[in-house]
Amino acid sequence: MALAGVLFCIGLFGALTKKSAVMVLMSLELMTNAVNLNLVAISRFMTPASMAGQFAAAFNIVVAAAEIGLGLALVLALYRLRKTVELDRIDRLKG
Amino acid sequence: MPDSVAVVPFVILAALAVGGGAMMVLTRNVVHAAFWLLEVMMAVAGLFMLLSAGFLALIQMMVYAGAVSVLVLFTVMLTLRRREDAERSLDLSWSAGLIALGVFVAVGAAIASFVPPAVVAPAVTPGVAEFGRALFTERALPFEIASVVLLIALVGAVWWAGGDDR
């Protein structure tokens, strides 16, 4: 669990500091992985028979996959529109 | 903890995961960062194996190490115009570091004060067969919802990233 905490904080740090949209998405994936690891670890040691945490982690993986797919599609669409992936320069909601 | 996992593989995999995560955040090259992310994913899959979650380890390898890393690399390659664009400034900031450190302290305190209840571990940890049986019987509704979520995400991704001629 401490390991998952460390991973989560590295991911949070990356998500807050990076300027490239793709890097932010990758940091988000890191955070999701940390959460999944924590779910599985707690499930392994507290409810080993019912595997509740494993189901939660499986659905979390599904949602994370959908999120990264949509996020990267959004990055591609933004790139086509603005020719940049720098978050500092994407500051208009209506182009 | 009622029982524990093997220490040596856990330490190796944990070091791989944390080191890979740190390298991913600290490297200057976006492509290198994508490969470090891939390494973290594989280490986490190994940790799932260690926690007797074999099915999740398989899913992790297929979804993250396979699909997500390829998707990330595709996007990186498509959005870079020149080779030099991959090299980025390190752009670290103190405020973000402070926030991450604060969250880490809070989480660490929570973990330190966490007392696991005594649980009698079953003689045989349930395997993939039990996982699949439970997934399609008592958890069939979330399963279907997850498939609908994936379908909507698929359509939405194609719609967003699709051609200009609409």
Band (pLDDT 50/70/90 cuts) for residue B1 is very low
Q: Are residues B59 and B130 in the same domain?
A: no
Chain-chain contact of A29 with B37 (C-beta, under 8 angstroms) = yes
Give the least confident one: A9-18, B29-38, B69-78.
A9-18
Q: How many CB atoms lie within 10 A of CB B12?
A: 12
Per residue in A11-46, pLDDT (tens digit) is 555 555 555 667 777 777 777 887 777 777 777 766
Angle between helices B69-79 and A21-46 (to 10 degrees): 170
CA–CA distances in Å: residue A8 to residues B61, B80, B109: 20, 28, 15
What are the extents of the domains in chain A? 2-89
Q: Reply yes or no on whether the pLDDT at A93 is more than 70.
A: no
What per-residue confidence (pLDDT) applies to A41?
74
**Domain A2-89, what architecture?**
Orthogonal Bundle (1.10)
Which residues of A are less than 8 Å from B134 in CB distance?
50-51, 55
Separation between Cα atoms, residue A92 and residue A27, nearest integer Å: 24
Residue B52's SS3 state is coil
| Shortest Cα distance, chain B CAs vs residue A82, angstroms | 11
Per residue in B122-150, pLDDT (tens digit) is 555 667 777 777 777 777 787 888 888 88
How many domains is chain B built from? 2
Q: Using the 3D structure, point to which of B60, B88, B116 is the last residue of a domain.
A: B88
Average pLDDT over residues B63-75: 82
Chain-chain contact of B114 with A1 (C-beta, under 8 angstroms) = yes
Query: How long is chain B?
Result: 166
Q: Is residue B132 part of a domain?
A: yes
Q: Are residues B77 and B145 in the same domain?
A: no
Q: Are residues B7 and B83 in the same domain?
A: yes
Band (pLDDT 50/70/90 cuts) for residue B2 is very low
Q: Is residue B106 part of a domain?
A: no
Chain-chain contact of B30 with A76 (C-beta, under 8 angstroms) = no
| Shortest CA distance from B79: residue in chain A | A79
Chain-chain contact of B56 with A40 (C-beta, under 8 angstroms) = yes
Q: Are residues B81 and B129 in the same domain?
A: no
Q: Is residue B99 part of a domain?
A: no
Separation between Cα atoms, residue B25 and residue B146, nearest integer Å: 30
Chain-chain contact of A13 with B21 (C-beta, under 8 angstroms) = no
Domain that holds residue B146: 124-166
- The pTM of this model reads 0.73
Q: Is residue B67 part of a domain?
A: yes
Give the least confident one: B47-56, B67-76, B98-107.
B98-107
Q: Are residues B128 and B78 in the same domain?
A: no
| Shortest Cα distance, chain A CAs vs residue B6, angstroms | 13
Q: Are residues B153 and B75 in the same domain?
A: no
Q: Is residue B112 part of a domain?
A: no
| Shortest CA distance from A72: residue in chain B | B75
Report, in angstroms and rounded to the nearest whole number, the Rg of chain B calculated over CA atoms.
20
Q: Is residue B118 part of a domain?
A: no
Per residue in B102-114, pLDDT (tens digit) is 777 776 676 666 6
Q: Are residues B67 and B148 in the same domain?
A: no
Separation between Cα atoms, residue B85 and residue A84, nearest integer Å: 11
Q: Is residue B68 part of a domain?
A: yes
Size of interface A-B (CB pairs under 8 A): 197
Separation between Cα atoms, residue B20 and residue A1, nearest integer Å: 17
What ipTM was reported for this prediction?
0.71
> Side chain identity at A65, as an amino acid letter?
A
